[in-house]
Each structure stands twice: as structure tokens, then as C-alpha cells.
Amino acid sequence: MKVLIASKIIGSQVKEPIELFHNEGIEIIYLDEPITEERLINAMKGVQGMLVGDFPINRKVIESSKDLKIISRVGVGVDKIDIKAASNMKVWVANTPGANSEAVAELAFGLMLAISRKIPQTFRAVKEGKWPKFFGRQLFEKTLGIIGVGAIGKKVASISKGYSMRVLGYDVNQDQEFAKKYNLTYVSLDTLLQESDYVNLHVPLIPETKDLINKDNLPLMKSTAYLINVARGGVVNSKDLYLHLKESKIAGAALDVLDVEPLKKDNPLLSLDNVIITSHIGAFTVESMRYMGMIAAQNIISVFKNKNPIYSVNKIT
């Protein structure tokens, strides 16, 4: 059996999944940077499994190997994989839910602290030889709104207990047992936006969540509130957010994800002082990548042994 690895992390920095494949007698083809559609297609001959990162896997790539059995994503989001095409070709699509929950949740809190206490602005000023005293805001006893109370959202809720925060949640699937344990109150999206001091986004990018935060509901947020997005860029309408931030209708935003990545130098969000932007690093910890890589590899090995993936996204009949 043969696996194509199209991930800039697995193999170069995280070795354990490679060792796992070798122990199973699986041949590995490693596609290093830059990963392009053409290079993927050229490398697909005789490949039964793909272990992939965040690069788009479209129909042309999927159909370029008649032997393909599974595409295993190192991470949760599969919005860049053509799942319909994969299903039509009877190819499993799998991911690694929950494997990066701690890493992403920690970044969410890091961004909340950074934007609240104006840490980047202070550091920039110090580097310029200044010694300013920026006034920030505390997280302690503030209201935290979590949009998407899944694995990551729940981890954020659990961390918030250390800050004695009031926690509101919005999700189409409500885990009442978890809510009771962590004093989380499920509310409508409008109510969450109206009452939260920090709005955290932890939903996948699907048609129902595209532009979930937009010009129609951004005005519901408090002028002192912050928006934190470590989910997917397309969940927030960036043009609407820019206009809202430019006019200081909310206190600020901290974004680890954008609708277009990498971010272009002329993106108007970069001109604002009340925005922090990081380069989609939510899952990028040594521990998280190791865990995700191992689960992604195990998904493939399971299919090679004529079993279902551990975490399948689609159904093969």
C-alpha cells in the first residue's frame, strides 16, 4: 500500500506518523513545499491513501488515482476537500476532531489577553524606545460568548472558569450535561452578541455558517466587546468587520484566520490599531501536531485493513 503525504509538518517536524506507516509496511511518497494541484496529480499514481494538510484537494486530484481509498486530514476543517467528489469515487474522507482542542483554545485565550491588554501595541512602542502605559481590560468576571460549543468551544469554556467568567453558548446541538457542569447558558445568537464582552467563534465553515457574522448582526455587539476568530475566515464577513472596526463600533478583533490566506499586504484590516492578526497558528504546537498526525495516520491504516476510518466525515456505501 502507498500513502502520499502532502503536509508541510508531517515528516519534516513530526516524525511519529511516518514511523507508524513504516511499521505497517506502507510505502510513503512525501510531497514537500510548494504543494500545487499539478504536483499532487503527478504524485497520485498508485496511491491508496492521502495524508493532507490545508491545501485544497479538488475533484481533479481525487480522480487522478483510481486506487485511492482515503483522504485523511491533519486537522478538523474539511472545507477545502471536495467531499462530494470523494464520495462519488467511494473514497473515505477522515479528519482528527478534538486532537487540537487544547492548542486552539489556548490560542483563543492568548488572543483575548493580547487584544484586551494591548500587548502587541505595547511591545511595538517599547521597541521604538518608548515606555507607554496602555490601559486595557481584564477578562476576570466578564461575559464570554462561545459560538460553536464543540470540542474546542468546550475547552474554551473550561479554561474560562479560571477567570470566573460568565459563559454564554450558541449551538444548534446543545449539550445540557456539559452546560450544567460548566455553568454555560445556551442562548440565541442575537442574545449572545448583545451580552458578551468577548465573542469567540468555534464553528466549521459550511454553507450555514458562511458570513455568520456580518453587517446585520455586528451592530448588536457592545462597543466595548471583542471578536475572536480562531475557526475559519469565511465565518466572518471581513469587509463588514473592517468597516465596523474602523468606526470603533466594537473595541477590537483578534483573528487567526482570514477568508483569503495568506493575508495580502494591502488588506485594510492591517491599517487598524484595534486588530491583532496571526497566521492561522491555532493548531501549531508540537503536541497538537503529533497527536493529529498520529490519528490521521491511524485513519488511513484502519481503511487499509478493510475497516472504517476512526473519524470519518463521509459515508461510503
Show which residues are catalytic. 232, 261, 280
How far is the C-alpha of 213 from the C-alpha of 193, rounded, in Å? 10
Extended strands (E) in 95-240: 143-147, 166-170, 184-186, 198-201, 226-229
Order of strands, sheet of 2-6, starting from the edge strand that comes earlier in the sequence:
27-30, 2-6, 49-52, 70-73, 92-94
- CB 83, CB 93: distance < 8 Å: yes
Question: CA 313, 316, 317: angle at the middle one, nearest 5?
Answer: 150
3-state secondary structure of 184: strand
Joined grid coordinates for residue 7: 503536509
- CB 5, CB 40: distance < 8 Å: no
Question: CA 127, 130, 131: angle at the middle one, nearest 5?
Answer: 110
> Within 10 Å of residue 233's Cβ, how many Cβ atoms?
19
> Within 10 Å of residue 227's Cβ, how many Cβ atoms?
27
Size of the chain in residues: 317
The phi, psi pair for 201, rounded to 5°, reads: -105, 125
3-state secondary structure of 125: helix
How far is the C-alpha of 66 from the C-alpha of 55, rounded, in Å? 21
The phi, psi pair for 7, rounded to 5°, reads: -145, 135
How far is the C-alpha of 283 from the C-alpha of 289, rounded, in Å? 7
